[in-house]
Amino acid sequence: MKPFCCHLLLIALTNVTFGQTNLKENCTYYAIDDRDSVCLDAHINVAPEEVDSFIKTGKKDILLIFDTWVNWGNRLLSGKNLKNEQVVEYLKKYKTIVLYVDDKLIANDKESLTIGKKNMLYEVDKFAAATQPYYIIIKGGKAKCSSGYMPNPEKILAFFKRCE
């Protein structure tokens, strides 16, 4: 077992030394098809306090998505949209945060508050909206623009271009 571990360490060090690393921080893989996926800086159902922290630090522009699990086939991050290289290039510019408003997991045992309800309350309180899907681009800590349902890559690209 030792030689195998040392071999892996040597490979890792070699890759880092020559500027090639296989490790990706903040990488969530989204399926494009049965054989391929795309790595995005994405976070799913993080607490509203954590979303606020991401917004305040402003290290990277944010794409905040309020969506439903039921909307599976029409999501911005669906395989059909991720096949479009231009859409993927825009998505890679952002820290993407997806908050599902219909998530039934209990977030707080004392209040029987679900994660979905917590996400919906955050959407209403922070952005005065109660629609899904709802996309918000945040730059410099402020919401720059937003959109509702975007049925195809052309509409998605128009949204990103409008928000630049």
Structure confidence at residue 75 (pLDDT)? 85
Tell me whether residue 103 is in a domain. yes
- Give the pair of three-digit tokens for residue 162: 């409008």
Tell me whether residue 62 is in a domain. yes
Round to the nearest angstrom and report the end-to-end CA distance of the chain.
Answer: 52
136: β partners: 64, 146
Q: Taking Cα atoms as reference points, which of 158, 134, 137 lies closest to residue 147? A: 134
Tell me whether residue 52 is in a domain. yes
Kindly report, residue by residue over 114-135, the tens digit of the pLDDT.
999 999 999 999 999 988 999 9
Tell me whether residue 129 is in a domain. yes
44: β partners: 98
Structure confidence at residue 74 (pLDDT)? 79
Structure confidence at residue 11 (pLDDT)? 38
Domain containing 141: what range?
Answer: 25-162
Which residues of the chain fall below pLDDT 50? 1-24
Task: Indicate the pTM of the whole model.
Answer: 0.80
Here the CATH number for the domain that contains residue 118 is 3.40.30.10
| CA distance linking residue 86 with residue 104, whole number of Å | 34
74: which residues sit within 8 A by CB, 6+ positions away?
133, 149, 151
Tell me whether residue 17 is in a domain. no
* Beta strand pairing call for 42-44 and 37-40: unpaired
* 63 neighbors 28 (Cβ within 8 angstroms): no
Tell me whether residue 80 is in a domain. yes
Number of structural domains, the chain?
1
Tell me whether residue 93 is in a domain. yes
Tell me whether residue 44 is in a domain. yes
